[in-house]
Structure 1
């Protein structure tokens, strides 16, 4: 199952960079039928096998680290095909994109199907009053912010 290496789904931040979007795809949308890659060499090989597009591990590294932010269309097309996203997902930095929300929901559905997020929790959330849902929303956002800070501090 494709999921965040830590076992959680994190949405794509509005205005995310190309590097952040690619990293999110690798962590959350890795095809279930493809063994997880342990490094950029394996990532590039998996994409090349699945799409027929020759992509190097150096290209993957540059894209993931933001050292390359204007890849060739064929590279973006290979990434889009491999991860099952529309080419428009890559968009332009600073633009909000409804595709990001759609992909976040798709990743969340995978988490529910895989048992990482319990479906009864989501059903209970729907049944909450608007006021109670607001409290839960604020708690989730605060927990996500604390988690991001913790991860940033770790490296």
Structure 2
């Protein structure tokens, strides 16, 4: 199951989510802030420094220039509203989660037969699997901290 970001999440949380879940497939995996800034600048033509990336990722800058948000939206392929209004961000977050799920299905990270089996479970068994997956995701997040 793909972890989602609450619409009211901080800008830093949203950017981290995009880096970890929506990094372009045709680029090497996200690395340092320098590499991330270079990738964004290279793809969008908008000059972005590693310091800006660091400030955005750590929450030290929570009101960036419009051109910075535009570059981020362009790079990650999200509407600029993802970074703003809660109602619009909620809908966008659902779309992003679906896109990440499709990407993982296509790459083989998630087996299609597992999803089919999940759909075929009884409601009680499906609820149990939901709880197990959410508990595993929470444990992974705690392990990362």
Tell me if the contact between 1:51 and 1:82 (Cα under 8 Å) persists in the aligned partners.
yes
1:79 aligned onto 2:72:
yes
Structure 1 ranges of 4+ moved more than 3 A: 92-96
Structure 2, unmatched stretches of 5+, are none
More helix, by proportion: 2
Tell me if the contact between 2:82 and 2:89 (Cα under 8 Å) persists in the aligned partners.
no
Tell me if the contact between 1:17 and 1:93 (Cα under 8 Å) persists in the aligned partners.
no
Match of 1:15 in 2: 8
Shift in Å at residue 15 of structure 1? 2.5
TM-score in terms of structure 1 length: 0.86
Match of 2:103 in 1: 110
Structure 1, unmatched stretches of 5+, are 1-7
Q: Write the distance in 2 (CA, Å) between the matches of 1:83 and 1:136.
A: 31
Q: Would the alpha carbon gap of residues 37 and 149 (structure 1) be closer, same or farther in structure 2, given more than 3 Å must change?
A: closer
RMSD of aligned Cα (Å): 1.9
Q: How does 1:58-97 map to 2 (within 5 A)?
A: 58-92=51-85, 97=90
Match of 1:5 in 2: none
TM-score in terms of structure 2 length: 0.91
